Structure 1
């Protein structure tokens, strides 16, 4: 394709600025339209970002009438489903920010719209672009660990609670489980080849978010700030999933892969109160195994790089649009993760184990 591909941005919050920055680094991309449901906000965004040639719309439905090759969906979580389905049915390729949706039913409709329209639906998990994530996947899938029977993943911030749309049930749908927990799930499930879950037992709470000592918007806090779940899979694998926006603890621990021949401990990169979750790169990887009749451990050398993982995510989507490739991170795969989050929230609400039934 010799002409530039035409991209629209739907939603003009903070994450939209990151999408604009990433697209601007690609000489084959032109941002031609922006939209926001709040009247006047898209025009303000266009001026602030210097998108002088782009059209500004006050609804995504108006933007989708434009001649576009693809859209970045940067709206609040609760609208990911509706906007994605509308975009796919309008014949646009879609890159939607995580989490994919709020409910499993929404994710199923999104995947169906992608299949029926023949347009790609890609979900925004930039940590996959750390080359060490591929190294981790290669180690686990090589069989070096033997049969992997238990995985522990998640992360916790001692203090790292967002506000605004993130804490509104009507706009976010869920809290820490979906916001940062989805990263932990994708990291573990992608490494394992996305096995099919069958049941989950979960607990959630929001002791910190609803306490004015810890959150300035405590009276508006409607979602969970902590959660833990045990997920069972078809292949006798179990996964412990734990996440926290706030806690009286320094860490919820590393991600662990326990196998019959070896184990692997993986820690995230980053430091500070907002770190400790899988929204970035790998910090360290250590294999625990037996050699010559004794216990030993081996530090796995990490691959050095200077990649901007967010930029890589946007670039991969744009190149897939340009080249007619399949979705880099397909919605049909992330639908499995969405089924787990949906099950976690149902289980926590019912206070018992629930089944997870995936569509065929």
Structure 2
């Protein structure tokens, strides 16, 4: 990936909340050209204009007509389909924040639009750009771990509901709670480590135990509570996934729970294994050997600290410049993640395993 783009990509941001600003800061640091932004909220547009000195618009048509090469879509989940499909149909490349959509049906429509579009859509699973995850992938390709058989995927906050009463906790807009918000990262990384195998069965339970309580106790709020608290989503999910080749994934996801937080992915293979911490990027390789004497060895891998969103953007913009759809973070992979999420919710609702 290039450090200094030869020809800056002309980029628009759709959705000018916190994550929109986050992306705008990084793309300008990379030397790309921020053309403008779109948001339906007047105050959000005013803040964005003041901070970045670019025009903003109330409709996507105005932005897409402003000679943009690519857009970054950071709206609430319910509106992903509307903006991503319109961009693709307009010949604009799209970096779409996770998840792909708020429902499986909406995600499928985005995938259909991407398949027939001249441009491409890449989905924002930034954790894949963590150097620790990339080192694991490289060693895996060399065969160091043998056959990967099981991944234990954890993304657990002790208290981390992202503000009660906003769109994150309103099912009509978000599509789901902790499972759809942070669980997508855990599922995506687990499937990535397994090289996206064919999934045959999903069993899951979701719960809402903390977010709706008047006595919800916390030290720090991930977001901010609204004046009227609405909490119609899950704050905890547990699931088990089986594949056609006998591999499996155990999943634990929570915005809030009474246990220590964890971001560990424990990966088990026939020749070795690894523990990867999604938050810190720490990677430890676990092996056994009989050289000299039977022994266990745990190798700690040190890598540079990086901004994974910035590296994700850099990869995306290089693909835009090259006019070639990226091989990483594809719509097809994001759709598979969405299928697993949908199956977990259906398994909880119906009370049995879901066959895929």
Tell me what 1:103 maps to: 103
Q: 1:252, 1:227 → 2: CA distance?
A: 14
What's the TM-score, normalizing by structure 2? 0.89
Q: 1:105, 1:325 → 2: CA distance?
A: 27
Q: 1:295, 1:2 → 2: CA distance?
A: 52
Deviation at 1:75, TM superposition (A): 0.3
Q: 1:315, 1:182 → 2: CA distance?
A: 22
Q: 1:104, 1:201 → 2: CA distance?
A: 17
Tell me what 1:145 maps to: 145
Can you list the C-alpha shifts for 1:59-90, whole angstroms capped at 9, x where unaligned?
22332233211101010012112211111111
Deviation at 1:36, TM superposition (A): 0.6
Matched residue pairs, number?
A: 340
Q: Secondary structure at the match of 2:66?
A: coil
Deviation at 1:42, TM superposition (A): 4.9
- Does 166-175 or 54-63 show the bigger shift? 54-63
Map of 1:256-271 to 2, 5 A cutoff? 256-266=266-276, 268=277
Tell me what 1:93 maps to: 93
| Matching of residue 18 in structure 1 with residue 40 in structure 2 | no
CA contact (8 A) 2:154 2:186 kept: yes
Map of 1:207-356 to 2, 5 A cutoff? 207-214=209-216, 219-251=229-261, 254-266=264-276, 268=277, 278=278, 280-291=279-290, 294-303=294-303, 305-327=304-326, 328-356=328-356
Deviation at 1:3, TM superposition (A): 5.2
Q: Secondary structure at the match of 2:187?
A: helix
Deviation at 1:253, TM superposition (A): 7.3
Tell me what 1:31 maps to: 34
Out of 164, 167, 170, the position equivalent to 1:165 is 167
Q: 2:101, 2:68 → 1: CA distance?
A: 23
Q: 1:260, 1:308 → 2: CA distance?
A: 32
CA contact (8 A) 1:140 1:192 kept: no
- Does 312-321 or 244-253 show the bigger shift? 244-253
Deviation at 1:281, TM superposition (A): 4.3
Q: Secondary structure at the match of 1:171?
A: helix
Deviation at 1:105, TM superposition (A): 2.3
Tell me what 1:48 maps to: 50
Tell me what 1:181 maps to: 183
- Does 177-186 or 221-230 show the bigger shift? 177-186
Deviation at 1:295, TM superposition (A): 4.7
Deviation at 1:290, TM superposition (A): 4.3
Q: 2:216, 2:282 → 1: CA distance?
A: 29
Superposed CA RMSD: 2.1
CA contact (8 A) 2:282 2:301 kept: no
Q: 1:177, 1:136 → 2: CA distance?
A: 25
Q: Secondary structure at the match of 2:301?
A: coil
CA contact (8 A) 2:274 2:283 kept: no
CA contact (8 A) 2:17 2:44 kept: no
Deviation at 1:114, TM superposition (A): 1.4
CA contact (8 A) 1:130 1:281 kept: no
- Does 101-110 or 138-147 show the bigger shift? 138-147
Q: Secondary structure at the match of 1:149?
A: strand
Task: Return 5+ residue gaps in structure 1 as ranges.
Answer: 269-277
Tell me what 1:274 maps to: none
Q: Secondary structure at the match of 1:300?
A: strand
- Does 71-80 or 320-329 show the bigger shift? 320-329
